[in-house]
DNA sequence: ACCACCTGTTATTAT
DNA sequence: AACAGGTGGT
């Protein structure tokens, strides 16, 4: 087999990693060093050269996007489908295992996944039943508590509360929540991981089966694994297996959801003869961008140590822009985007990154104003929209009548006369009988335990679900969905609403039908669960991949997303907006131990997304939660060496005193001039220095004159004088 | 029981 | 600024 084709395009370090014969391989891969490439090529190497069966390979990633990309690239290299190979996120793989072995995992066959929204609803209900006042005991806090415990692999019985009132109350909620999930056949995200772990830990024969099957384990983004994920990998990794992990401690940005950077060090301890391979050559960014990233991250302590370098050219300086306010910041970005495209470049090259989703609105407005096509990732995603969740709730009930979360959601949506009172009666009955709401409701209808009106309405609802289910057993998924949208009355309800949003909702429902049409069940139903219906597969897909926010995937567009979701991506032109203290680094993280360092890693991730040009923008005035704030410039900007940056200040259409403020970045300019300095010119009058380049006789400055606007002047000739 | 309107609260990051 | 939850009228 031709080995050279797999390694010919790789550098020495990459080749070493791809071909390593070791049992355990740890690849410390800096940003832009070809991490995914190494993984893809290593899989190809295993299959083509070492003649390993794809069937014995397990590759784990952190996002569905990454999984899809990896599989696609592997198949391209192999020039054939990688049949039998498991590639997916920890969550999707855990889900797959639990479906295949639901009995051993102690789950009902039709168990369903609870997303964060659903989870919070269930917790709220449970807390209400425990008579916990939700002002004193915010449900969000309980949600956070439960998830954090699950991240660490702890069941309520394993939590020591030492008489602490807070902890013991939370544990009570945790117990009750578990009970609620159990009767309803619901599994939250973290439960997927924890159950999958327990499945193996408690069933040695199953574990043995998978240990023997997965001779080759590869894990991407290892710095993002949490305790339970690591434990799960450790279980699977048996003496005979080979394991490759790839990670970068400087890009660990998920500590808040339980990720442990220490897992990388732990790996070295657990696999003492593991080979460590470092990828330090960056192929992505200009040296300027890389230097800036290295400088920022160097402010962190406790790094594993790694020095990224590049053969790339210096490129453009990093541009800092101080906007008057957030609108103007957005307009500035839009204008730069137009410049970029006018120079013959593509919208696809561009990303706008921000710390929090709330920032996307204003940026979005600016794009709309200038007719710049854009695509927002994150925020409220498709499968999280109310009308979509409603429809999914019907579909879920059709699959699993005991799904209490879905039952509660749609029992009175659209309104059918089953108000809070009636549902309370059902809830009480369910609690009494220790059954699901569906079963309680059925019993009460039969036993005539409800007031006549409610009884009729409830009977109607139960019948509707049964009817939807039985009448669509034989039809395609998309038709099934269409029938549900029509017969449930959801379409009618949405059609009757007025306003712009109603139209969008209608379109979303239409879009859902399209999504089911495009959904390929053959691809999504794993070999080991052939009984899975296309509907079940679709529901799982909807829960595990909330879906992107917008359609039009094929149109060229600017990509807008949070810094977190930008990890793993790269763009020639990158804007990072909102470089302000308390926004980035975020206030919330400043209060947490280690929070600032994680924010700094996030800054590192952001900076290293840029290939050619990077803009860092901030606003001097920003509206936050309705109030005006005057944030100071993010410390991360001051951590970048001044010689790598240039600051622009434009005289924009915003009405304000032009020479209002000194720039926060103070740099020495040539011949005693500096950025932001006011100057006087014999012909052009008063102006402010916004940029300069070159030294000595070559030095030139860019000045924004009050009257004449932007001018570029050679310092040697222009008779510029400082002014006040 | 339902709807419209008002009020208080609340925005980090996400599988 | 936006949304969930609560209040009061029908």
Q: Which nucleotide is nearest to A562 (CA to C1')?
A: B13
Local structure of residue A226 (DSSP, 8 states):
B
Alpha-carbon dihedral A146, A151, A152, A155, rounded to 10 degrees: 40
Say whether A36 counts as a known binding-site residue: yes
Query: A415 CA to C9 C1', in Å?
Result: 19
Identify the residue whose Cα has the smallest distance to the C1' of B12.
A356
Angle between helices A165-184 and A139-151 (to 10 degrees): 80
Give chain B positions with protein CB within 7 A.
Answer: 1-3, 10-15
Please check whether residue A543 is in contact with residue A395, taking contact to mean a CB–CB distance below 8 angstroms. no
Pure H helices in A400-489: 404-410, 420-433, 437-446, 452-471, 477-487
A109/A122 Cα distance (integer angstroms): 21
Sheet containing A24-29: order of strands: A86-89, A57-61, A216-219, A242-247, A24-29, A275-279
Query: A379 CA to C5 C1', in Å?
Result: 22
Q: What is the pLDDT averaged over residues A140-154?
A: 92
Say whether A32 counts as a known binding-site residue: yes
Query: A508 CA to B3 C1', in Å?
Result: 24
Q: State the CB neighbour count (10 A cutoff) for residue A83.
A: 10
pLDDT tens-place string over residues A426-437? 988 998 999 999
pLDDT above 80 for A654: no
Q: Which nucleotide is nearest to A625 (CA to C1')?
A: C1
pLDDT above 90 for A626: no
If phi > 0 it is left, if psi is from -120 to 50 it is alpha, else beta; for residue A583 that is alpha
Phi, psi of A525, deg, nearest 5:
-95, 115
pLDDT above 60 for A662: no
Q: Work out the pLDDT band at A624, boundaries 50, 70, 90.
A: confident
Say whether A176 counts as a known binding-site residue: no
Q: What is the pLDDT of residue A131?
A: 85
- Does at least one atom of strand B sit less than 7 Å from the CB of A594? no
Look at the pTM and tell me if it is higher than 0.95.
no
Say whether A128 counts as a known binding-site residue: no
Query: A625 CA to B10 C1', in Å?
Result: 8
- Average pLDDT of every residue of chain A: 87
- Does at least one atom of strand B sit less than 7 Å from the CB of A64? yes
- Does at least one atom of strand B sit less than 7 Å from the CB of A629? no
pLDDT above 70 for A485: yes
Query: A88 CA to C3 C1', in Å?
Result: 35
3-class SS at A425?
helix
Q: Which of residues 268-327 of A touch strand B (CB under 7 A)?
A: none
Identify the residue whose Cα has the smallest distance to the C1' of C5.
A134
Q: Which residues of A are catalytic, by number? A: 35-36, 220-221, 251, 609
Q: Which nucleotide is nearest to A64 (CA to C1')?
A: B15
Phi, psi of A315, deg, nearest 5:
70, -170
Q: Which nucleotide is nearest to A361 (CA to C1')?
A: C1
* DSSP-assigned beta bridge partners for residue A574: A351, A614
Q: What is the pLDDT averaged over residues A480-491?
A: 92
Which residue segments constitute the domains of chain A, with CATH numbers given?
3-102+194-281 (3.40.50.300), 113-184 (1.10.10.160), 318-377+554-648 (3.40.50.300), 383-544 (1.10.486.10), 670-722 (2.30.30.390)
Place of tokens 């039943």: A129
Q: What is the pLDDT of residue A519?
A: 86
A378/A565 Cα distance (integer angstroms): 8
Pairing mode, strands A700-705 and A685-693: antiparallel
Q: Work out the pLDDT band at A156, boundaries 50, 70, 90.
A: very high
Q: What is the pLDDT of residue A706?
A: 61
pLDDT above 50 for A388: yes
Q: What is the pLDDT averaged over residues A110-115?
A: 91
Say whether A31 counts as a known binding-site residue: yes
pLDDT tens-place string over residues A319-375? 999 998 898 999 999 999 999 999 999 999 999 999 998 898 889 889 988 989 988
What percentage of chain A has pLDDT greater than the value 70?
A: 89
Say whether A30 counts as a known binding-site residue: yes
Give chain C positions with protein CB within 7 A.
Answer: 1-2, 5
- Does at least one atom of strand B sit less than 7 Å from the CB of A661? no
Q: Work out the pLDDT band at A658, boundaries 50, 70, 90.
A: very low
Q: What is the pLDDT of residue A664?
A: 37
Please give the residue that has the higher pLDDT: either A705 or A402.
A402
Q: Which nucleotide is nearest to A501 (CA to C1')?
A: C2
Please check whether residue A181 is in contact with residue A187, taking contact to mean a CB–CB distance below 8 angstroms. yes
pLDDT tens-place string over residues A665-677? 333 444 566 656 6
Q: What is the pLDDT of residue A233?
A: 95
Buried b (16+ CB within 10 A) or exposed e, A516-555: beebebeeebbeebeebbbbbbbbbbbbbbbbebeeeeee
A188/A424 Cα distance (integer angstroms): 24
Pairing mode, strands A57-61 and A216-219: parallel
Please check whether residue A127 is in contact with residue A142, taking contact to mean a CB–CB distance below 8 angstroms. yes
| Residue whose C-alpha is closest to residue A148's, from A135, A164, A167 | A167
**Counting runs of H as helices and runs of E as strands, what totals does chain A give?**
29, 21
Q: What is the pLDDT of residue A501?
A: 74
Query: A464 CA to B14 C1', in Å?
Result: 35
Q: List, in order, residues 6 or more apart from A170 with CB less than 8 Å away.
A: A141, A142, A145, A146
Q: What is the pLDDT averaged over residues A30-46?
A: 93
A389/A392 Cα distance (integer angstroms): 5
Query: A414 CA to B5 C1', in Å?
Result: 20
- Does at least one atom of strand B sit less than 7 Å from the CB of A419? yes
Say whether A419 counts as a known binding-site residue: no
Q: What is the pLDDT of residue A435?
A: 92
């Amino acid at each position: 087999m031709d080995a050279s084709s797999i390694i010919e395009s790789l550098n020495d370090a990459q080749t070493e990693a791809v071909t390593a014969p070791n049992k355990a391989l740890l690849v410390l891969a800096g940003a832009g060093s070809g991490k995914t490439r190494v993984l893809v090529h290593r899989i190809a190497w295993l299959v083509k050269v070492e003649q390993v069966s794809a069937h014995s390979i397990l590759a784990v990633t952190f996002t569905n996007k990454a999984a899809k990309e990896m599989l696609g690239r592997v198949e391209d290299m192999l020039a054939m489908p990688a049949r039998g190979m498991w590639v997916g996120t920890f969550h999707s793989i855990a889900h797959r295992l639990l479906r295949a072995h639901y009995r051993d995992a102690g789950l009902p066959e039709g168990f369903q996944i609870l997303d964060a929204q659903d989870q919070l609803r269930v917790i709220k209900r449970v807390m209400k039943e425990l008579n916990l006042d939700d002002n004193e005991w915010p449900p969000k806090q309980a949600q956070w508590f439960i998830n954090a415990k699950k991240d660490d692999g702890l069941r309520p019985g394993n939590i020591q509360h030492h008489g602490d009132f807070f902890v013991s109350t939370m544990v009570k909620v945790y117990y009750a929540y578990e009970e609620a999930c159990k009767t309803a056949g619901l599994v939250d995200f973290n439960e997927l991981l924890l159950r999958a772990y327990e499945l193996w830990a408690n069933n040695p024969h199953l574990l043995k089966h998978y240990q023997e099957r997965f001779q080759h384990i590869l894990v991407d983004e290892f710095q993002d694994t949490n305790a339970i994920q690591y434990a799960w990998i450790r279980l699977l990794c048996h003496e005979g297996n080979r394991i490759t992990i790839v990670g970068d401690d400087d890009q660990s940005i998920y500590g808040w959801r339980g990720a442990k950077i220490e897992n990388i060090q732990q790996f070295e301890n657990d696999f003492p003869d593991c080979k460590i391979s470092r990828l330090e050559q960056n192929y992505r960014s200009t040296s300027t961008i890389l230097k800036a990233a290295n400088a920022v991250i160097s402010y962190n302590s406790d790094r594993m140590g790694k020095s990224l370098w590049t053969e790339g050219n210096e490129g453009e300086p990093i541009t800092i822009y101080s906007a008057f306010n957030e609108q103007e910041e957005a307009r500035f970005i839009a204008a730069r985007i137009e410049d970029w495209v006018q120079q013959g470049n593509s919208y696809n090259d561009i990303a706008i990154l921000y710390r929090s989703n709330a920032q996307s609105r204003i940026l979005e407005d600016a794009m709309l104003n200038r007719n710049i096509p854009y695509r927002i990732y994150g925020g409220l995603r498709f499968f999280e929209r109310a009308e979509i969740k409603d429809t999914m709730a019907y579909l879920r009930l059709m699959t699993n009548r005991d799904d209490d979360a879905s039952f509660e959601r749609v029992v009175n949506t659209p309104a059918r006369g089953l108000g809070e009172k009636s549902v309370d009666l059902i809830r009480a009955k369910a609690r009494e009988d220790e059954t699901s709401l569906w079963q309680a409701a059925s019993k009460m209808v039969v036993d005539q335990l409800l007031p006549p009106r409610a009884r009729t309405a409830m009977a109607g609802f139960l019948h509707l679900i049964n009817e939807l289910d039985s009448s669509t057993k034989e039809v395609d998924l998309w038709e099934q969905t269409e029938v549900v949208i029509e017969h449930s009355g959801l379409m009618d309800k949405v059609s009757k609403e007025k306003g712009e949003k109603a139209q969008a909702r209608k379109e979303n429902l239409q879009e859902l039908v399209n999504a089911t049409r495009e959904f390929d069940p053959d691809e999504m139903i794993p070999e080991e669960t052939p009984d899975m219906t296309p509907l079940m597969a679709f529901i799982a897909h909807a829960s595990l991949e909330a879906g992107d926010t917008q359609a039009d995937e094929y149109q060229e567009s600017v990509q807008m997303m949070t810094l977190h979701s930008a990890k793993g991506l790269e763009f020639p032109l990158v804007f990072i907006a909102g470089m302000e203290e308390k926004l980035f680094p975020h206030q919330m993280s400043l209060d947490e131990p280690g929070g600032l360092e994680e924010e700094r890693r996030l800054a590192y991730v952001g900076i290293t997304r840029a290939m050619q040009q990077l803009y860092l923008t901030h606003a001097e005035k920003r509206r936050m939660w309705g109030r005006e704030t005057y944030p100071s410039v993010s410390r991360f900007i001051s951590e970048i060496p001044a010689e790598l940056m240039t600051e622009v200040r434009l005289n924009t259409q915003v009405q304000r005193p032009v020479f209002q403020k000194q720039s926060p970045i103070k740099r020495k300019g040539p011949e005693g001039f500096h950025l932001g300095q006011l100057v006087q010119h014999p012909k052009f009058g008063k102006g402010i220095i916004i940029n300069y380049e070159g030294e000595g006789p070559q030095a030139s400055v860019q000045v924004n004159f009050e009257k004449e606007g932007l001018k570029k002047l050679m310092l040697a000739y222009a008779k510029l004088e400082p002014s006040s």
